[in-house]
Amino acid sequence: MGYSLHIALLGELSVVANGTAVALPASRKARAVLGYLAATARPVRRERLCEMFWDLPDDPRGSLRWALSKLRQAVDDEGTPRIIADRERAAFEPTDALVDLRAIRERLIDDPPLIPPLELRDMAGQLQRPLLEGLEQAGTESFQLWLAAEREDMHLLQLNVLRRLTLHPELTQAEALKWARRWIEETPLEEEAARGLVNALAQSGRLEEARHWEADFHATAKKAGLSVTGPLLDEKSEPPTTNPAVERPVESPPRRMLRKQTIGFCRASDGVRLAYATVGEGPPLVKAANWLNHLELDWNSPIWAPTFSAWANQRTFIRYDERGNGLSDWDVNDISFEAFVRDLETVVDALGLDRFPLLGMSQGCAVSVEYAARHPERVSCLVLIAGYATGWRIGASDEEQARREAVLTLTRHGWGTSNPAYRHIFSQTFMPDSKPEDLAWFDEFQRQTTSPENAVRFQEAFGHIDVRESLAKVQAPTIVFHARDDHRISLEQGRELAIGIPDAEFVQLDSKNHILLGHEPAWVECVQQTEDFLQEHAT
């Protein structure tokens, strides 16, 4: 059912009428009154509202009358009053109106056996936002106590959603594991959450890590004075015991890497949680984030898995999910180039890396360049693949900008749908020479990796990238690879990147693909030359 009015209580209070944002009263108290009435969904005595939002010796009743009149202008339609008030009480009547928190609460209270994954993902994203953000001090202590209690109830709703996602039969093992990690992070001493994570790990073939988590949880619970009812690991989750008489299938290198990968988390300066991963042994190689990443789903990829396996073969390969996608926080205020650079700084600092080679792909090249310019003492060398110095809004032709704007429109309206046509636009420009099954995988991977809103915000941020002034400041030895017929970033842009960096080596690859694929000769050449370059310069 469509609604003519939508009220968002999660995050900053907002009202949208027939698709258009409504200007709310400047008064924080008036907005808080609307939030309270919309959340409670019942008539409230005027005396109670006055006590919650105004202190004596002000004129509380007069202030309330003024606030209600302003709110009527914002949420009432002709013939559809929604602010209902008499001499004793006031209420918000949700006629033809959707209130986000109430919709989520009612859906979960009905306790359906199975909610579609797309709907649950949307709930999880919404419930990460604080209720009535920015209005905490808009009322008296009574309002603040009510808001704190409502936020506690929101946390319970969030745990409900995370549980449903972790145990959902329609999700892949990798995505279930992602939600299991978020569930245990929100409630680290809850036995059911720990059981969900342990069994998700085991079902993903990471039995050793599952047993480690189980032992840690038992120890932590005991230290906290809690009792655990029994083993967390379900025998059904353990990989079946093989018959020694039957030859065991050879484990693929990517699968072996995933099993050995270690994931950690750190916080950026603005509080955003970032996920990073290390795998392999030997000297470090740090990869800057690019469009789009997921520390676990990547290893199932026919696109990324061969490349990552090659780089982790002789080194400790370090990468991370940038803000807004993958296992890192999705609901973030800042998605910008400056934030991307800070995130790289945060991850390498959290890992205690003093000096390391840095690898960038696509927009990760610009992030790598900026980091190397700011921290020349920490970067031993740079490997840049399919990169550029300026985004599509800077210097691109009118025709190219129009194409990008059209893609933004398609993203806004179709990214989260089950129809891959919208995302297929990206896949074809990234890999025009790929197999149909590889394109299909990438289509679905993109949908699982970020939200429609963030997909748009990423594209906007990439358009404004400009590191031209930083190129000359790079002191590290640099090699730049670029496909001759790259359909997404032109060869000229790759050359400009190499020309701007002092003494950079430029290698042209015989390919049409922006993302090199493991079956093409250009990929073999890039991997081999990268290893030779690292052997010479990564000290």
C-alpha angle with apex 345: 342 to 346, nearest 5 degrees? 85
CA–CA gap between residue 218 and residue 188 (Å, rounded): 11
Predicted TM-score of the model (pTM): 0.60
The domain 1-165 is placed in CATH, from the list 3.40.190.10, 1.20.120.420, 1.10.10.10, 3.40.50.2300, at 1.10.10.10
H or E stretch covering 83: strand 83-85
**Peptide linkage before 57 cis (omega within 30 of 0):** yes
Confidence grade of residue 246 (pLDDT, cut at 50, 70, 90): very low
* Strands, sheet with 284-287, edge to edge from the N-terminal-most edge strand: 262-267, 273-279, 316-321, 284-287, 356-361, 379-385, 478-483, 505-509
* Of the candidate ranges 250-259, 448-457, 477-486, the one whose mean pLDDT is the lowest: 250-259
Q: Check residue 86 and give its pLDDT.
A: 93
Confidence grade of residue 238 (pLDDT, cut at 50, 70, 90): low
Nearest by Cα to 415 from 427, 398, 432: 427
- Name the one residue in this structure whose structure tokens are 């982790």: 312
Q: Which amino acid is at 384?
A: L
Phi-psi region of 513 (alpha: psi -120 to 50; beta: other; left: phi over 0): beta
Domain boundaries, the chain: 1-165, 172-236, 253-537
Q: Do domains 1-165 and 253-537 have the same CATH topology?
A: no
Percent of the chain past pLDDT 90, that is, above it, reads 59
Confidence grade of residue 255 (pLDDT, cut at 50, 70, 90): low
* Of the candidate ranges 265-274, 296-305, 323-332, the one whose mean pLDDT is the lowest: 296-305
CA–CA gap between residue 239 and residue 23 (Å, rounded): 57
Confidence grade of residue 57 (pLDDT, cut at 50, 70, 90): low
Q: Check residue 221 and give its pLDDT.
A: 84
Percent of the chain past pLDDT 70, that is, above it, reads 92
Q: Which residues pair with 466 in a beta bridge?
A: 390
Q: What is the mean pLDDT of residues 34-52?
A: 94
Confidence grade of residue 33 (pLDDT, cut at 50, 70, 90): very high
Q: What is the mean pLDDT of residues 391-401?
A: 83
- Name the one residue in this structure whose structure tokens are 């809690």: 226
Q: Check residue 231 and give its pLDDT.
A: 86
Q: Would you say domain 253-537 falls under CATH 2.60.40.420?
A: no
Q: Check residue 223 and give its pLDDT.
A: 83
Whether 520 contacts 407, CB under 8 Å: no
Q: Check residue 332 and give its pLDDT.
A: 93
Nearest by Cα to 288 from 465, 52, 117, 70: 465
DSSP track, 374-424: H-TTTEEEEEEES--SB-TTSS--HHHHHHHHHHHHHHHHHTTSS-THHHH
CA–CA gap between residue 493 and residue 474 (Å, rounded): 18
* Chain segment 349-392, per-residue pLDDT in tens: 999 999 999 999 999 999 999 999 999 999 999 999 999 999 98
* Of the candidate ranges 254-268, 334-348, 371-385, the one whose mean pLDDT is the lowest: 254-268
Confidence grade of residue 240 (pLDDT, cut at 50, 70, 90): very low
DSSP track, 439-499: HHHHHHHHHHHS-HHHHHHHHHHHHT-B-HHHHTT--S-EEEEEETT-SSS-HHHHHHHHH
CA–CA gap between residue 510 and residue 521 (Å, rounded): 8
Whether 74 contacts 24, CB under 8 Å: yes
